[in-house]
Amino acid sequence: MNDISSLDASADSGAGPIRRTALHDTLVNRLRDMIIEGRLDPGTRLHEGQLGEQLGVSRTPLREAIKYLASEGLVELVPSRGAVVKRFSPKDVQDMLAVLRKLEEFAGRLACEVATDSDVARVRAMHDRMVACYKSGDRLEYYKLNQNIHTAIVALSGNTPLIEIQAMLQTRLKRIRFIGHEGPEKWAAAVSEHEEMIAALEARDKERLAEVLGRHLSNAWQRVRGAL
């Protein structure tokens, strides 16, 4: 099992103590980013004392943030061991991606049927910002926009149960999806697939969008399987 003491605090993009404004959300976001980027590896025990010192906060708000991440499925609360970054097996990941693929294919078809021009324009704007981050090499911001695009397309379906289930799976797969962009070839391929996605959405071609989303998520498994 990894230990938090091995972390390089200076690697955190938000160096220094966290201000008390919106402390809970800030802590949740900071810890989630650390998990996504691999600075808190799967299996790492979250020592409240060390984390609190690193982030400049007391144990109480930190404990609440960790509980929230546990509710998202990114952290496991293990009796007698405390909080541990969740480790998913290859089968767990493959199964979740298979379900996510079907959900997003369905959502893509619905989105093409009901989305307004302004809805699609907002997704296009996110896509353009994502491509700019790709070109500048800002991998974490690229990843967040990438995930926001998937969320936005699903939201355009207007189907609340679909939106909620997709959000749960997407959250659990955050670290896994992040490593799917490691290496220039994988990253370029993912961007190319997103270009196809946006073109299909703008054309309101529901079968094309469903196909691209399905292929994109099938390829996501191929991109990450070797790293699991």
List for the chain the helix, strand, coil content (%; round to 5).
70, 5, 25
| Residue pLDDT, tens place only, 69-127 | 999 888 999 887 889 998 889 999 999 999 999 999 999 999 999 999 999 999 999 99
Q: Rounded mean pLDDT of the chain?
A: 88
pTM to 2 decimals? 0.77
Q: Structural domains in the chain?
A: 4-85 (1.10.10.10), 90-227 (1.20.120.530)
Enumerate residue ranges in the chain where pLDDT < 70.
1-21, 228
Q: How far apart are CA 106 and CA 102, in angstroms?
A: 6
- pLDDT value at residue 6: 38
| 74 and 32 Cβ atoms separated by less than 8 Å | yes
